[in-house]
Amino acid sequence: MSNPIAPHGATRLNPLFVEDADERGWLAEEAESLPSIAVASAAASNAVMLGGGYFTPLAGFMDKADALSVGRSMQTADGLFWPTPVLNLVHDAGAVAAGARIALRDPNVDGAPVLAIQEVTAVEAFSATEFDGLTAQVYGTTDPAHPGVADFQAQGTVVLSGPVQVLNFSYFETEFPETFRTAVAIRQEIAERGWHRVVAFQTRNPMHRAHEELCRMAMERLEADGVVIHMLLGKLKPGDIPAPVRDATIRKMVDLYFPPNSAMITGYGFDMLYAGPREAVLHAIFRQNMGASHFIVGRDHAGVGDYYEPFEAQEVFDDIPADALQIELFKADHTAWSKKLNKVVMMREAPGHAMEDFVLLSGTAVREMLGSGIAPPPEFSRPEVAQILIDHYRGRE
């Protein structure tokens, strides 16, 4: 059964994982004799995403011209709509030159095994001015206190571009066997379930009642067949809830509170950029490539701190070319339990409410409650979900 939503910029997915086991074996042998580079975690996660087809139609890491063009105009040099640079940045390329085949070693797995082989088409360097300009365009700031900026600027300014052959999916497949899925696998499962209208929900946090109800609202209003809950499994900033704990809370919520065959629990191997609007657009491309027809974007999507306006990640979609993406947005407001209506609502859809009419808790307050063994009120968090988080905060995971 074909999916009505085409991949981005292509008629079919372009996963760069080497499917044939024999070929993978030969390439792994070859890799041992190649010059090797221990890449940054961000480059490793880019390779995983290239391998899984999420970065369709890209064939590998961008060169300097593509990266600068993406920064300026959200288009590669040849006109492909793309919001963020996909780079393999290093501090020093050493003897690696254009034309070389190199082994990319995984910094996130013990022993730094080979993750992919790259054919280097160019070795280029950003000037300090170019790199700061690109940072400002993608992240909206060059403030080193921004976690995405800090990570990006720590990777180096030398660009190794060229196509890759991906040999494995890093730690994601082994640590999250029930959850990690490629775009290829999610498209296949959507087809097997017979879904056509599919809502995607991005999360890097446990899902509380507001998130749960937001998924339900989107499905009902869009008359969707199901929701794909798609959690980020890669690196986050310090203090964020670890992926295994998030995974457990989401599974518990879906098991208890969603009808059968209405929610798919999946995850993907990418390090969070915290790039606000630009990352929201990238997230939409991921979801189009995995076969979703609609994507929920809410308040402060992919943001951090006060670097972005509350709805900037929705507004950016109003400024991109009309034909840039096939996937459609479901624009959500902040959702919370209304004491007046006795249910979760979008706050903008609840006239006659003051702030005290909603059950609102700050992240700090929730963490303090959970750390003290106190479950947030059931209007905020399902008790079964809260218990998993209490166990985590109190060291009993």
Q: Is 362 exposed, middle or buried (0-12, 13-18, 19+ CB in 10 A)?
A: exposed
- 3 state SS of 5: coil
CATH of domain 178-393: 3.40.50.620
- Closest of 268, 377, 376, 379 to residue 389, by C-alpha: 376
Evaluate whether 90 touches 100 at the Cβ level (below 8 Å). Answer: no
Instruction: Strand 335-338: give its sheet, edge to edge.
Output: 343-346, 335-338, 358-359
Residue extents of the structural domains in the chain: 21-173, 178-393
Whether 205 is a known active-site residue: answer yes
Q: What's the farthest any 2 CA atoms get from each other in the chain?
A: 70
Catalytic residue among 193, 205, 251, 367: 205
Alpha helices for the chain (secondary structure H): 21-32, 41-52, 64-73, 128-139, 147-154, 172-175, 183-193, 209-222, 243-257, 277-289, 312-315, 363-371, 383-393
Full-model pTM:
0.95
373-396 burial code (b ≥16 CB/10 A, e <16): eebbeebbbbeebbbbbbebbeee
Tally the C-alpha atoms within 13 A of residue 161's C-alpha that lie toward its C-beta: 17
- Closest of 181, 233, 182, 222 to residue 199, by C-alpha: 222
Taking only the tens place, the pLDDT of each residue in 100-143 is: 999 999 999 999 999 999 999 999 999 999 999 999 999 999 99
Taking only the tens place, the pLDDT of each residue in 325-369 is: 999 999 999 899 999 999 999 999 999 999 999 999 888 899 899
The CATH fold assigned to 21-173 is: Sulfate adenylyltransferase (3.10.400)
Catalytic residue among 105, 204, 246, 299: 204
| Distances in whole angstroms, Cα of residue 235 to Cα of each of 7, 35, 53, 111, 195 | 26, 27, 20, 19, 31
Residue located via tokens 């008790």: 383
Taking only the tens place, the pLDDT of each residue in 246-277 is: 999 999 999 999 999 999 999 999 999 999 99
